[in-house]
Structure 1
Amino acid sequence: MRLISQFILASGLLLSALFTTTANAKETFTFTAIPDQDETQLKERFGKIATYLSEKTGIEVNYIPVKSYSAAVTAFRNNQVQLAWFGGLSGVKARNLVPDSKAIAQGYEDQFFVTYFIAHQSTGLQSSEAFPQTIAGKRFTFGSKGSTSGRLMPEFYIREHLKKAPNTAFSEVGFSGDHSRTIALVQAGSYEVGAVNFKVWEKELSQGKIDTNKVKVIWQTPTYPDYQWTIRGDVDTEYGQGLTAKITEALLNMTDKALLDSFPRTKFVPASNEDYAPIKTTAQSIGLMD
């Protein structure tokens, strides 16, 4: 009788623990993305990704938009989102703020990312393999202040080749906020030269949104690692063991061409925090990170 009572008690404790774990697991998993294009395009793209992840993981997954790169990092730090599609710099910053968070996947192309320098036709600047020294003194626009491809890497090469900070190298410096707007501003002549994510340029070019009689690519940077999916280190504790692995598997096994084209990427491949060490070093070298 005593053994039976002990068995019932142990079983009850086990069921109680399992129930508590299930009850404590959050029901809605939320992610965001840096706003590198206009909000309409982002909502369309990531709404479909939320549906895909929900189907693959068996839990409700929601996408929430943010207004800036820094807001994406803040939302990740505050656990308002548990997963984010970051650029190289924003991902490094976010992982520094959240213990045990990690990069889990990147686009195949993100291993060899480049920035395009673009110029309005009135400058007379032509495409060249050499850094365009004659951009000095012109009106120049970056993208977002927190963008890897739209600010960090182009500023690094500007400092390296012109031997000056942007605010002294150019007659005017702007920050457009996103890559689509950078293209629009240079195409309109509001700025003479700008730095833009090559993927956004190629996508908008294919969609007929760019008039190459008004704006052209004049130089591209050497390659560097950029965008990646980063997940918080406490996801399995908060949402149930194995969810990090499920999310990772779903991203790496994404084969739907429409989903991949919306990024645009050909596929996702494994990523690690160590892959982005060069981004951190570069940010520290020009004073964008401590």
Structure 2
Amino acid sequence: MKISLKSIFAASLMLAASWSHAQSADHVFRVSAIPDEAPTELQRKFKPLGEYLEKKIGMKVEFTPVTDYAASVEALINKKVDMVWFGGFTFVQANDRSKGQITPLVQRTEDEKFRSVFVTTHKDINSLNDLKGRTLSFGSESSTSGHLMPRFYLLQSKINPDTDLKRIAFSGAHDATVAAVAGGKVDAGALNISVWEKLVEAKKVDPAVVRVFYTTPGYYDYNWSVRTDMNADLKKKLSDAFLALDINKPEDKAIMDLQRTVKFIPTKVDNYKNIEAAAKNAGLLK
């Protein structure tokens, strides 16, 4: 019996397809996030979203915590996770490190004009200029809303945090920054407005004691990102899942309340050009 090369090729394609299908059926879709809050809080916030995504993409979804912001970048680039909740600056770092191989899928509508706040317990600190000669805590060094943009607006106000302040510190997370200010470890702190509002709502901070004295202008921030080489069908399923969330549906509202949003919208690389420029201006990106 004579077997043609064409038949062998067709058979090999079928075998490869069935093997690929078996692999994808067993695959766990791993998700991570920059650790801008306590690990337990990140897990709590992601759980219902993860369960929702499982149904939408037909794969088991697991949350994989990372130790720091840099680890979230490396995890996505090195294929240890499949999708990451990045801040604007961490996305820029990941895209830069991967030579343009990271795609931002969606962002919350609130992330089009995100803001940072500066807080203090001192009555004589009422403007950025009042920080001269004082101590200040940022969040993580790689945080958009906890370091990069607060630093950018300090520099815009002709205040160099490295030379004009008595000392700067990095708390590692937004809630830790508030704790440092409340505990008197620093005179002031800069953090994400969303976390600040959540801490106030949960009565974990007294705004009469720790108060906001400056709020930055808006800028693009957080997004959900994947690698550019992700299977196109999976990428579309993920985008569609986020965009389908409806605040008017009780089951969706529970997810969106934890994500602190009313709607997810598409995003793109160009939205983060100003973040990239601010990072280069501040000497945080070569």
Q: Please report the TM-score for the alignment, with normalisation by the length of structure 1.
A: 0.90
Q: Secondary structure at the match of 1:224?
A: coil
Aligned equivalent of 2:272: 276
Aligned equivalent of 2:113: 112
- Cα displacement (A) at 1:52: 1.4
Aligned equivalent of 2:181: 186
Superposed CA offset, 1:15-57 (max 9, x none): 3242133245461111100011111111111222221111110
Q: Secondary structure at the match of 2:40?
A: helix
Q: Secondary structure at the match of 2:119?
A: strand
Once the two structures are superposed, the pairs formed by residues 219-258 of structure 1 within 5 Å of their partners are 219-236=214-231, 241-255=232-246, 256-258=252-254
Aligned equivalent of 1:135: 131
Q: Secondary structure at the match of 1:242?
A: helix
- Cα displacement (A) at 1:125: 2.9
- Alignment of 1:209 onto 2:204: yes
Aligned equivalent of 1:175: 170
Q: Which amino acid aligns with 2:14?
A: L
- Cα displacement (A) at 1:214: 1.5
Q: Is the 8 A contact 1:162 1:169 kept in 2?
A: no
Once the two structures are superposed, the pairs formed by residues 1-290 of structure 1 within 5 Å of their partners are 12-25=11-24, 27-98=27-98, 99-120=100-121, 122-126=122-126, 131-164=127-160, 166-236=161-231, 241-255=232-246, 256-290=252-286
Q: What RMSD, in angstroms, separates the aligned Cα atoms of the two structures?
A: 2.1
Q: Give the Cα separation in 2 of the matches to 1:9 and 1:225.
A: 53
Q: Give the Cα separation in 2 of the matches to 1:167 and 1:106.
A: 32
CA change 1:18–1:41 in 2 (3 A) is same
- Cα displacement (A) at 1:5: 8.5
Q: Which amino acid aligns with 1:200?
A: V
Q: Give the Cα separation in 1 of the matches to 2:168 and 2:23.
A: 50
Q: Is the 8 A contact 1:148 1:226 kept in 2?
A: yes
Q: Secondary structure at the match of 1:111?
A: helix
Equivalenced residue count is 279
Q: Is the 8 A contact 1:123 1:192 kept in 2?
A: no
Q: Which amino acid aligns with 2:263?
A: K
Q: Is the 8 A contact 2:129 2:159 kept in 1?
A: no
Q: Give the Cα separation in 1 of the matches to 2:263 and 2:225.
A: 16
- Cα displacement (A) at 1:212: 1.9
Work out the percentage of aligned pairs sharing the same amino acid.
34
- Cα displacement (A) at 1:73: 0.7
Q: Please report the TM-score for the alignment, with normalisation by the length of structure 2.
A: 0.91
Q: Give the Cα separation in 2 of the matches to 1:90 and 1:271.
A: 15
Q: Which amino acid aligns with 1:214?
A: V
Q: Give the Cα separation in 1 of the matches to 2:4 and 2:150.
A: 71
